Structure 1
Amino acid sequence: MKIGVVTFPGSLDDSDARRAVRLSGGEAVALWHGDATLRDVDAVVVPGGFSYGDYLRAGAIARFAPVMGEVITAAKGGMPVLGICNGFQILTESHLLPGSMIQNDHRRFLCRDQVLRVENAATAWTAGFAADQEISVVLKNQEGQFVADRATLDRIEGEGQVAFRYVGVNPNGSSRDIAGVTNERGNVVGLMPHPEHAVEEGFGPSLDGRTFFTSALEQVVSS
């Protein structure tokens, strides 16, 4: 199964995401921000970094890259799409996911190992986890605070669209400790922490990140 990983000018974690795909048993396909095709991939990862230098605001320019038109169409058709950190920001700017991302409440860049609780284990990217399972991955961001108006927060809580929550101290001020969300269909997931940095023994706090990618691969096989 082929998982495409998009590279934008300023992407930092695209090579890590491709490595995570390979270690999880998939074929990683490099996608360029100017591509007008997804090259017949079965799923897409929009990786972390600082696309287009985070000018205007994080993800605001990348949302209009040619490849994102293809990603948006494919996501609306049911293709699994994962947005990690800057990728999460891009997916909210693309209106594939609810809410928005702003600067951390402490106004500092943050890098640490982070425990998350899996709130929704029924998405394309979380089906290999159990509900309420605690996992450990890497967190590193500057604009990682998830925000939304109260009505949106109540709606996504009620409809099970909160995918992950921070455990322990909230690292960036995100509303209701939300670390990641999903769309209503469950094929699109975004989160600020980096599962691609927790896929290999001796690197990162755990191997929990690998389950994101194996979940998607199994979803494609079964669909």
Structure 2
Amino acid sequence: MTITPDIIKAFTPAGSLRASINLGNPILAKQDPQSGEVGGVSVDLARAFARKLGVSLELVVFDTAAKSVEAVRSEKADIGFFAIDPLRGEGMRFTAPYVLIEGAYLVRQDSPLQDNAEVDRTGTRVVVGKGSAYDLYLTRELKSASIERAPSSPEVVPAFLAQNADVAAGVKQQLEGDARKLGGLRLLPGRFMVIQQAMGTPAPRGEAAAKALSAFVEECKASGFVAEALARHGIKGASVAPAA
């Protein structure tokens, strides 16, 4: 990947590289409750890309995917980390995915539901994080079940319990953690979708910038950087996406 002055300029109209970070997906980003420091796979990638450009990095942190997407789309951030979805394509250019993440369903231990295919039935209430990739996907795919939206993905299970809903939907690892912590809950076997997690930049930044970001992602996958970041942060259940 050749970094030209024009590419650097395209990514840094504010002087530094502003990276939109979504804390709603704990697989990719977390905030230390004591220090307030933000870290994770997406932060590692943002730092590596800033180094590649030879510029300083500014993290723009949000609690939901929807807010993170809007920051990039409105050019209040220069890059972001998103699940690829048709509804998010407007105004942005995505790279190929760098990580694949499973989406799963959580139910109460005594729920009659035993299989993912049983969820989409009349009367079934599914809670999902508002504006998340899971929300966008299930809004298209569920024909009979009803969707109820929690303010963010980390609030899905609390909302599911408080509203006495039938199913919680979201990041498999997050749901597994909630099930272990709270008890009386179980995941349905397998997954209902696979999230393709990619990097994105505002479309007006141009074709050369989009290609440079895509090349960076491919370099990070091929060199082992993404795999090492997943291991370093103790992320299980997510896998490095294949080469584009």
- Please give the TM-score of this superposition, normalised by the length of structure 2: 0.28
Higher helix share: 2
